[in-house]
Amino acid sequence: MIDTIKTTPYMDQKMGTAGLRKKSKVVLQPNYFENFIQSIFNVISPQGKTYVIGGDGRFYNDIAIQKLIKMAAANGVKKLIVGQNGYLSTPASSNMILKNHTDGGFVLTASHNPGGENGDFGIKFATSTGGQCSAQVSERIFNETQNISEYKIMNSADVDLSQIGSQKLLDMEIEVVDPIKDYVKLMEGIFDFPAIRKLFAEGFTMRFDAMNAVTGPYAIEIFENVLGAAKGSVLNSTPKPDFGGLHPDPNLVYAKELVDIMYSDDAPDFGAANDGDGDRNMILGKKFFVTPSDSLAILTDNYAYIPAYKNGIFGVAKSMATSTAVARVAARHNIGYYEVPTGWKYFVNLMDSRRITFCGEESFGTGSSHIREKDGIWAILFWLNIIASSKKSVEEITMEHWKKYGRSYYLRFDFDGIKTDVANDLMKNLENKLPSLTGKTYGEFKIKLAEVFTYHDPVDNSSTSNGMRILTEDGSRIVFRLSGTSSSGATLRVYLEKLEHEKLREDPVAMVEGLLKIAFEVAEIRERTGKQKADIIT
C-alpha cells in the first residue's frame, strides 16, 4: 500500500560541493531524509525510470536505503539496481549508471566526513551522465525542499538486500547486484594487469588502508585476489557504521596508521588509502608522500604506459585550487588544459564533450573519463601500472618529474568551525580589497593579479564563481575558498603554492611560509577568526 504522508519543510537542505551533507542527528529528524528524497523525485519525474542505489556503509545507511527503496516504488520508479547489502562506492555507482544506461543514481554517503551517530550523513545524487547533478538542478531541488508538503512511501516490510538477484516491490523491480565484479572488469580493461601481477609476484609490497569504509572488499578482490599482493596488504578492510572511529579522509593527518607504516624502517614499497565512499586516494612511497596535485601531473605525463590511454588522451583539467603542476605537463604534451571550480560535477561536461580524459583536485581526487566521478582505486592502479612498466619507485618517478618540470610546493591550510557570518564577512572584505592588491609587493613577492575566480563552462555556457586567487610574478599562488562540505559552521581553506626549479627537497611548510604570512595579512585571518594558526594542514 502507498501512504501519502503530510510533512513540513526543512530550510537547510541545500546541496554543497558534493551532494547534501549534514550531521547524522540532523538527518535523523522526522521526515528529514524523506523530504529531501521526495524533493528530488518531484524535480526528476522518476516514473518508469531506472536508478542505481547504494551507500558507503556508514551509520543510517541501512535504514535510509530501505526508505529510499520504498519511496522509489511509491513514486513509480520502474527499476532499482542496488549494491549487495546496500553498499556501493561512488566510483562503482557511476560505472553502473553508465554501463546500464540508467537515469541516475543515489549514493548514501558523507564521503570523507566521519560517520556514526555523532558524525555525518549525506546523499549524492547523480544523473544519467554518471556524474552528480549540476548546480542548476540542485538549485531546483533546493527550491522544492522549501515548499514540500507531502511525500509518498510504500507501507511494506523491509527488502532483503543480502541475496544477489531480482525481486519486486509493487510494480518496481529491485535487482541486487555484486558491485565489485563490474568494477574489477572496468579496471582490467584499462590497466596492464599482467604487468602488475608480475610486479607482485617478484616481491613488490604494498599496504592499502580502506579506513573501515566501503572500498575494503573491492581492494581485497583487486589487490590481493586478482593481482596477487600478499594477504594482509589491505588494512581496515571491513566497512563499519562508524568507520571504527576513524576519520575516513586519506591524508597524512587522518590516515595515520598507514603513514606510520610507510615512514617506518621496514616500510613496504607502496602505500595508498581511500576515503569513505572510495573516490579519494592518497599515494605514498617508502618514506615518501606524493601530493594529489603532483599525482595528477605525474599520471598525465605517464599516460603512455597505460593500455587504455597509450594511443593518446584528450586534455586534462584541474580545480582552480589544485596546484599548477599539471598545467606544465599539458603545455609540454600540447593537450587541452582547463581550470574549473571545486567539485567533480564541473568536469562532467568536459569529459562528455571529449575535451579532457584526466582530471583532478588537490583534495586527494584523481580520475578519468572511464566514469564521471573521481576514483580512488583507479588512481592507485595507475601508479602500480607506471611502477610495473617503468621499474622505478614512487620516489624515483616523482623526483624525475620535478627535475623535468620543477616542483610546485603546495599545502592547504584549513581553518575549521568559524561562525558562518564571520567567514562570510572575511571573504567579502577580502573581495573588496582585491583590486588594491594587484601590483603590491610583499617581501619577495610581487602580486600580478588578485581576482575572484569565475569559470565559464564551454559546453553549457553557465558561469560559476568560486573562491579568490592571488597570483605573483614568480608563479606562486594564494587561493581562498569557503568549504562546501562542512556540516556545521564554516571552514576557510587557504591554498598556497610556490614553484621551484632548483631546490627540490625542501620542507613544504618552510617553502610556503612567506605566502602564509601574506594570506594571514590580506584576509585578516587572526583579527577576524581569533585563530593564530590553521586547524589542519594537508
Residues that bind ligand VG1 (CB under 6 A): 17-18, 111-112, 275, 279-280, 319, 342-344, 361, 363, 365, 483-485, 493
* Positive or negative: CA dihedral 286, 216, 95, 372: negative
DSSP 223: I
Residue closer to ligand VG1, measured from CB, 196 or 492: 492
| Furthest-apart CA atoms within the chain: distance in Å | 72
Report which of 301, 257, 252, 477 is spatially closest to residue 401, judged by C-alpha positions. Answer: 301
Residue 182 DSSP SS3: helix
Residues that bind Co ion (CB under 5 A): 111, 275, 277, 279
Confirm if 213 and 248 have CB atoms less than 8 A apart: yes
Three cell numbers at 248? 575516513
Please identify the residue of the shown chain whose CB is closest to the bound Co ion.
111
292 binds, among ligand VG1, Co ion, none (CB under 5 to 8 A by kind): none
389 binds, among Co ion, ligand VG1, none (CB under 5 to 8 A by kind): none
Min separation Cβ 177 and ligand VG1, Å = 22
Min separation Cβ 89 and ligand VG1, Å = 11
% helix / strand / coil in the chain, to the nearest 5?
A: 35, 30, 35
Min separation Cβ 481 and ligand VG1, Å = 6
Residue closer to ligand VG1, measured from CB, 34 or 275: 275
Min separation Cβ 141 and ligand VG1, Å = 17
Min separation Cβ 24 and ligand VG1, Å = 16
Report the alpha-carbon distance of residue 23 to residue 511 in Å, rounded. Answer: 37
Report the alpha-carbon distance of residue 436 to residue 440 in Å, rounded. Answer: 8
Give me the amino acid identity at 484.
G
Q: Cα–chain-centroid distance for residue 299? A: 17
Residue closer to ligand VG1, measured from CB, 144 or 361: 361
DSSP assignment string, 225-246: IIT-PPTT-EES-S--TTGGG-
Residue closer to Co ion, measured from CB, 132 or 476: 132
130 binds, among ligand VG1, Co ion, none (CB under 5 to 8 A by kind): none
Residue closer to ligand VG1, measured from CB, 76 or 484: 484
42 binds, among ligand VG1, Co ion, none (CB under 5 to 8 A by kind): none
398 binds, among ligand VG1, Co ion, none (CB under 5 to 8 A by kind): none
Q: Report the run of H or E that residue 497 belongs to, with start and end.
A: strand 490-500
Report the alpha-carbon distance of residue 239 to residue 189 in Å, rounded. Answer: 27
370 binds, among Co ion, ligand VG1, none (CB under 5 to 8 A by kind): none
Min separation Cβ 486 and ligand VG1, Å = 6
Min separation Cβ 109 and Co ion, Å = 7
Residue closer to ligand VG1, measured from CB, 233 or 487: 487
85 binds, among ligand VG1, Co ion, none (CB under 5 to 8 A by kind): none
Min separation Cβ 226 and ligand VG1, Å = 25
* C-alpha distances in Å from residue 164, one per residue of 49, 178, 179: 21, 7, 10
Report which of 127, 122, 48, 141 is spatially closest to residue 94, judged by C-alpha positions. Answer: 127
Min separation Cβ 71 and ligand VG1, Å = 23
Residue closer to Co ion, measured from CB, 279 or 362: 279
Report the alpha-carbon distance of residue 198 to residue 223 in Å, rounded. Answer: 12
Residue of 24, 39, 89, 111 marked catalytic: 111
Asked if 463 is an active-site residue, the reply is no
Residue closer to Co ion, measured from CB, 274 or 398: 274
Give me the amino acid identity at 477.
R
493 binds, among ligand VG1, Co ion, none (CB under 5 to 8 A by kind): ligand VG1
Residue closer to ligand VG1, measured from CB, 483 or 529: 483
17 Cβ contact list (under 8 Å, min separation 6): 342, 343, 483, 484, 485
- From edge to edge, which strands make up the β-sheet containing 288-290? 234-235, 206-209, 270-274, 281-285, 288-290
Q: Which residues of 262-296 are buried (b: 16+ CB within 10 A; e: fewer)?
A: beeeebbbbbbbbbbbbbbbbbbbbebbbbbbbbb
483 binds, among Co ion, ligand VG1, none (CB under 5 to 8 A by kind): ligand VG1
Q: Report the run of H or E that residue 396 belongs to, with start and end.
A: helix 394-405
Catalytic residues: 111
